[in-house]
């Protein structure tokens, strides 16, 4: 069930590009939901709604997955949430601007599971590379391009 109007859902607890999303969404006059397990400062704007969920496992992910529909945009680095959102017809972007697609999500899930196993066995340690200015720039370009394409539909 599509709403006809694109909305943006931010998996906000660890999202490094919230300010960029607010600016781009504001330019496009899009409703934006900032979903997190705890209160955070957001701009005072009637188009930005903060949703604080309980701190149960995957509570923010569940809220987003239950609300998102075709034509919406989800910003997350959580691969299972990306998968659920894609199945609902949403466009999904990681905070580095990398799009999650029907074609790429299976490999992303497999790599996530493999890396978790390798961390458990001690074969690898650490996490993702630090977030860079290039990542921020790529994200801004991808979000703008995505919204332009959705508007033309």
Q: What residue spans define the domains of the chain?
A: 8-148
Give the model confidence (pLDDT) of 117-153 as tens digits: 666 777 666 666 677 899 999 999 999 999 999 988 7
> For the chain, how many helices (H) and strands (E)?
5, 6
Nearest Cα residue to 16 out of 106, 78, 77, 89: 77
Residue carrying the six token digits 């496992």: 57
Percent of the chain with pLDDT over 90: 64
* Residue 1 banded pLDDT, cuts 50, 70, 90: very low
Token output for 77: 């680095």
Is residue 4 very low, low, confident or very high in pLDDT (cuts 50, 70, 90)?
A: low
Gap between the Cα atoms of 45 and 7, Å rounded: 15
Give the distance, in angstroms, between the CA of residue 121 and the centroid of all CA atoms in the same chain.
29
Tokens 């496009």 appear where?
Answer: 28
pLDDT in tens, 8-22: 999 998 899 999 999
Highest mean pLDDT among 47-51, 79-83, 111-115: 47-51
Match 């458990």 to its residue by tokens: 120
User: What is the tens place of the pLDDT at every residue in 73-97?
Assistant: 999 988 899 999 999 999 999 999 9
- Which of the following CATH numbers is that of domain 8-148: 3.30.420, 3.30.1140, 2.20.130, 3.40.50? 3.40.50
């Amino acid at each position: 069930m599509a709403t006809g109007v694109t909305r943006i859902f931010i998996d906000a607890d660890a999202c490094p590009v919230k300010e960029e999303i607010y600016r781009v969404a504001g330019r496009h006059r899009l409703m934006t939901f900032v979903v997190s397990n705890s209160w955070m400062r957001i701009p005072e704007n009637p188009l930005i709604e903060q949703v604080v969920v309980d701190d149960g496992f995957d509570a923010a992910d569940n809220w987003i997955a239950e609300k998102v529909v075709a034509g919406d945009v989800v910003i997350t680095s959580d691969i299972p949430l990306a998968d659920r959102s894609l199945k609902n017809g949403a466009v999904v972007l990681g905070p580095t601007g990398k799009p999650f697609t029907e074609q790429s999500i299976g490999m992303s899930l497999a790599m996530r599971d493999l890396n978790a196993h390798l961390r458990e066995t001690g074969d690898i340690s650490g996490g993702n590379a630090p977030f860079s200015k290039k990542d921020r720039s790529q994200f801004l370009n991808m979000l703008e391009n995505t919204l332009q394409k959705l508007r033309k539909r």
